[in-house]
Amino acid sequence: MTMRRLDRKRLHEIEKLGQNVDVSTSDVMKNALISATQHREGQKLTTDMVFDFGASGAGLLTKSLGVGDVVGTADASYLCIITDAVFGVVSKIESVTLEAISDGTLIDYDLMYAGDGALDGHASSGNDGALGANATGEVAIQTGMGTLGKHTLTSYHAEELKNKHLYLTSGAATTQKASATIDCSGADHTKVVSGITRIRLSQHDATFIDVVADSGKAKADTYAGFFGTSDVGSAADLALSLKNGIGATSDASGTFATSNPTATTVLVTNSSVSATSNNSNFLVDDPQSASLIEVPAMTGGIDTGVAITSGKLLVRVTGFLEPSSL
C-alpha cells in the first residue's frame, strides 16, 4: 500500500488559499464573487468569501427607499446559502470591508440573513431578495459595512443561520435624486418669447410643471413658475434667469434645487428621492422662434437603480462539522 504525499509547493498553496468551495451564490452575485475558499482544522471549518461589489461585470445596483432594500439586480441577489453541508454548524460570522462600499451617494450598507430555514424554493425561504426590495424575514447580521476597514464579528448559538440566505442591503434610505443640466450655450436669447417659451420640468412624482418666460420680470427675479427676460442680453443671462425662476418653483414636495455649474448651464435637481424620478423634460418654443435651449431628461434617480461604484468585502464564516457517531 502506498501513501500519496503532497509536495511542499502544493501544500503551501493549499494552506495559503484553502480549497475552493461552492457556497451557492446567486447567479447575480457570482459576477461579484472573487473567491470562496475553505480551511479545515480538525472539526473546524473556516470559509472565506471575498466580493467585489463595484466590479463592472457584476452590474450591481442600489435602489434604496429604506433600510433593508437589497443590493443587486431585479433577479435574486443573495451572496450565499448557509448550509451545514458546506459551512458546518455555524458559530460566527466575521466581516472586513476591504474597499469602501458606495454608489456615489449611499455609503451605509448592512449584511443580513433571510428566510425560514426551508430550501424548497417557496417564497418564504429567503431566496426572494432582489433590487430595491426586502428579502422575506430579513434579520441584520452586521450593520454599517460601507466604511473602509470596518471589522465586525457576530456569534450564533442555536443554528440561527441554517439554510438562510445572506444579502448585502442598504443601511439607510439613499439621498440620490434625479437631475438634469439645461444648456443655454447654443441658445438664441432673442428667440425666447414671453408667455410662450417654457421649460416643462418633470417633478419627482412624474407629473410636470411649467416655468414660463416673462418679459415683465428681470433675470434676477425669483417668481415661481416664471423666468424673467426683460434684461436678458446673452446666453449667460438666460442661464441665470432660468436658475432663479426654476429655483423658486415648487416640485411636488419642495422646490427644485438649481445652480449654474458654468455661465451658460443650469443644473436642476428634484426636491426628493423617488422611485419615479427619471423622466423626460421638455422645451416648448414658439413654432416660428426656436430658442434652441437644450433641455435633457431627468437622470440619476433611483427608479432604475444606481450603480455600485466601489466595495470589496470579506465574509468569514466559522462552523464545525458534526463528529461521526461511534
Q: What is the pLDDT of residue 121?
A: 54
Residues of the chain with pLDDT under 70: 1-17, 120-124, 325-326
* Cell numbers for 27: 447567479
Chain center to CA of 287: 42
Alpha carbon distance 289, 136 (integer Å): 57
pLDDT tens profile 43-53? 999 999 999 99
Q: What is the pLDDT of residue 1?
A: 46
Q: What is the pLDDT of residue 89?
A: 96
Q: For residue 77, give Cα distances in angstroms to 97, 209, 217, 309.
A: 19, 38, 53, 17
Dihedral (Cα; 140, 84, 87, 43), 10-degree rounding: 130
Q: What is the pLDDT of residue 117?
A: 77
Q: What is the pLDDT of residue 304?
A: 86
